[in-house]
């Protein structure tokens, strides 16, 4: 089996979600339509946003999902939190120390969790 290199999120409106992620990632999608958008991240991982109304076979939710963004240090976590808050992202968890590092969690328009964290030393 090869490495994981593609993440799909099922979204209500791929165009609106692509606009959200373009601002969040400071990157334009490499592919975009009414039913699907694709971003290629600096790491090479691809993030696909697929319309939950057109995905086949029909997907049923079985749990939450979370995208995690590792940053250099606690100040970077605080800076990102302030920036995302300023831009109106819903903050699910305020910056806090946890067993794996300093972190906060926001949500995208579809409720997918976006965790930013600085790993513990």
**Under CATH, which architecture does the 66-119 domain have?**
Roll (3.10)
70-112 pLDDT, tens digit each? 999 999 999 999 999 999 999 999 999 999 999 999 999 999 9
Q: 104: which 2 tokens? A: 């906060």
pTM (predicted TM-score):
0.88
Q: How far is CA 110 from the centre of its chain?
A: 10
Q: Where are the domains of the chain?
A: 6-51, 66-119
72-82 pLDDT, tens digit each? 999 999 999 99
Q: Find out whether 118 and 73 touch, Cβ atoms under 8 Å.
A: yes
3-state secondary structure of 90: strand
Class of domain 6-51: alpha beta
- Tokens 């993030």 locate to 47
24-61 pLDDT, tens digit each? 999 999 999 999 999 999 999 999 999 999 999 988 77
Amino acid 35: pLDDT: 97
Q: What is the secondary structure of 9-48 as a DSSP string?
A: EEES-HHHHHHHHHHHHT---SEE-SSEEEEE-TTS-EEE
5-30 pLDDT, tens digit each? 999 999 999 999 999 999 999 999 99
Amino acid 3: pLDDT: 79
């Amino acid at each position: 089996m090869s490495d994981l290199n593609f993440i799909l999120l099922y979204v209500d409106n791929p165009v609106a979600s692509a606009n959200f992620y373009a601002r969040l990632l400071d990157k334009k999608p490499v592919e975009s339509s009414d039913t699907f958008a694709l971003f290629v991240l600096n790491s090479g991982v691809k993030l696909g946003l697929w319309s939950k109304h057109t995905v086949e076979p029909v997907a049923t939710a079985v749990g939450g999902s979370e995208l995690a963004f590792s940053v250099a240090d606690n100040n970077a976590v605080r800076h990102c939190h302030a920036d995302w808050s300023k831009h109106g992202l819903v903050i699910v968890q305020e910056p806090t120390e946890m067993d794996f590092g300093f972190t906060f969690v926001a949500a995208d328009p579809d409720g997918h969790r976006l965790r930013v964290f600085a790993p513990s030393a």
